[in-house]
């Protein structure tokens, strides 16, 4: 069977004269079978036209045929939920999960105690790395072995694309944060050299975030920021001793993935 990749991007022009720039309003992507292309496309346009951020000046819809043989099917990461009283507690818990995963990852490949200092430095640096992602459009790709950022363009970051849930014939014009995030996190966790992902939503009305990896699974942390705060971002934590950055980026941006999220 042939599939189609559908991608929608909507933006608005803001500012005057030389300050004029395009501001992102809404985006979505799906991989669906031939019969669903038209309906899903219409739903995407509806999503762009009814977004709370305002009326779009541009809507770009890209439709691309994909051969079934080019698609890899992955089982969704198992999900656990962490309830917290405050967003500060949630953020601390998330940092804790990530620090432990990064430290285990570094030590697993180490011959002696060469990574002890790096582990401590990383833990201190993590809140600042998160802040650096706030103005970025995509995710930060951070190498835990060299402490370097590996995105070819730091402002733009790296994006994971070409993914959807398996058998998702559903035509839904509303964003479902969790459904989209479990698909993305599963793809990211399976990328070559990937150690873990850290995500805080940039939607001011959505305070749930997650940390994820093949070992951790998908850990939903129910409060990770204050309601109304539009600062969010993603960090992909990568280990250059296991794969090259090019290989990892190629997988994130080009490999077609369907995620089996179960019934
Ligand atoms: C969830 O598990 O509810 C999703 C959390 C992160 C969502 C990221 C986003 O879509 O803004």
Nearest CA to ligand 1 atom 11: 201
Beta-carbon count within 10 A of 188 CB: 26
Nearest CA to ligand 1 atom 1: 178
Residues 157 and 195 in one domain: yes
Residue labelled with tokens 């940039």: 202
- The count of residues in the chain is 263
d(CA 77, ligand 1 centre) in Å: 14
Residues 30 and 141 in one domain: no
Give the closest residue to 201 by CA, choosing from 172, 218, 223. Answer: 223
Nearest CA to ligand 1 atom 4: 178
Where residue 115 falls among pLDDT bands split at 50, 70, 90?
confident
Please identify, among 71, 93, 116, the residue that sits at the C-terminal boundary of a domain.
Answer: 71
Residues 201 and 89 in one domain: yes
Query: What pTM does this model have?
Result: 0.93
Q: DSSP label at 77? A: P
Residues 224 and 136 in one domain: yes
Residues 32 and 119 in one domain: no
Q: Which atom of ligand 1 is nearest to the CA of 79?
A: 2
Query: What's the mean pLDDT when you consider all of the chain?
Result: 93
For residue 55, what are the domain limits? 2-71
d(CA 185, ligand 1 centre) in Å: 10
Average pLDDT over residues 38-57: 90
Give the phi and the psi of residue 49 in degrees, each rounded to 5. Answer: -80, -15
Residues 237 and 138 in one domain: yes
Q: Is the dihedral of CA 121, 126, 128, 129 positive or negative?
A: positive
Nearest CA to ligand 1 atom 8: 201
Nearest CA to ligand 1 atom 9: 201
Give the closest residue to 26 by CA, choosing from 44, 9, 42. Answer: 9
- Radius of gyration from C-alpha coordinates of the chain: 19
Please identify, among 37, 54, 71, the residue that sits at the C-terminal boundary of a domain.
Answer: 71
Q: How many domains would you assign to the chain?
A: 2
d(CA 111, ligand 1 centre) in Å: 37
**pLDDT-above-70 percentage for the chain:** 96
Residues 108 and 29 in one domain: no
Nearest CA to ligand 1 atom 2: 178
Average pLDDT over residues 201-208: 94
d(CA 47, CA 51): 6
C-alpha to C-alpha distances, 85 to 2, 229, 233, nearest whole angstrom? 47, 17, 22
Residues 224 and 158 in one domain: yes
CB 29 within 8 A of CB 8: yes
Residues 244 and 136 in one domain: yes
CB 256 within 8 A of CB 71: yes
The residue with greater pLDDT, 17 or 217, is: 217
Please identify, among 53, 71, 89, the residue that sits at the C-terminal boundary of a domain.
Answer: 71
Nearest CA to ligand 1 atom 6: 209
Residues 96 and 225 in one domain: yes
d(CA 240, ligand 1 centre) in Å: 27
At 212-256, the pLDDT tens digits run 999 999 999 999 999 999 999 999 999 999 999 999 999 999 999
Asked whether residue 117 carries a pLDDT value surpassing 90, the answer given is: no
d(CA 232, CA 88): 14
Q: DSSP label at 181? A: H
DSSP per-residue letters across 18-35 = GG-EEEEEEEEEEEEEGG
At 123-150, the pLDDT tens digits run 999 999 999 999 999 999 999 999 999 9
Residues within a 6 A CB radius of ligand 1: 177-178, 180-181, 199, 201-203, 206, 208-210, 220
d(CA 192, ligand 1 centre) in Å: 23
Residues 82 and 60 in one domain: no
Residues 148 and 67 in one domain: no
d(CA 201, ligand 1 centre) in Å: 6
Give the closest residue to 9 by CA, choosing from 27, 24, 25, 23. Answer: 27
């Amino acid at each position: 069977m042939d599939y189609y990749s559908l991608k929608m991007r909507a933006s608005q022009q803001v500012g005057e004269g030389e300050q004029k720039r395009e501001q992102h309003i809404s985006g979505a992507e799906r991989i669906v079978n031939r019969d669903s292309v038209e309906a899903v496309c219409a739903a995407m346009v509806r999503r762009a036209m009814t977004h709370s951020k305002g009326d779009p000046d541009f809507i770009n819809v890209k439709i691309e045929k994909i051969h079934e043989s080019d698609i890899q099917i992955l089982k969704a990461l198992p999900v656990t939920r962490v309830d917290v009283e405050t967003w500060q507690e949630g953020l601390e818990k998330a940092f804790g999960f990530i620090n432990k995963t990064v430290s285990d990852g570094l030590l697993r490949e180490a011959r002696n105690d060469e990574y002890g200092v790096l582990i401590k430095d990383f833990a201190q640096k993590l809140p600042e790395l998160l802040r650096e992602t706030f103005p970025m459009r995509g995710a930060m790709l951070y190498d835990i072995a060299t402490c370097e950022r590996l995105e070819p363009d730091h402002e733009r970051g790296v994006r994971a694309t070409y993914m959807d849930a398996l058998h998702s014939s559903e035509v839904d014009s509303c964003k479902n944060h969790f459904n989209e995030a479990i698909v993305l996190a599963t793809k990211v966790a399976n990328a070559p050299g990937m150690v873990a992902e850290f995500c805080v939503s940039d939607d001011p009305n959505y305070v749930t975030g997650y940390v994820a990896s093949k070992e951790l699974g998908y850990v939903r942390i129910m409060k990770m920021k204050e309601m109304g705060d539009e600062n969010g971002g993603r960090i992909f934590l990568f280990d250059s001793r296991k794969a090259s950055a090019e290989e990892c980026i190629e997988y994130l941006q080009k490999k077609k993935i369907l995620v089996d999220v179960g019934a």
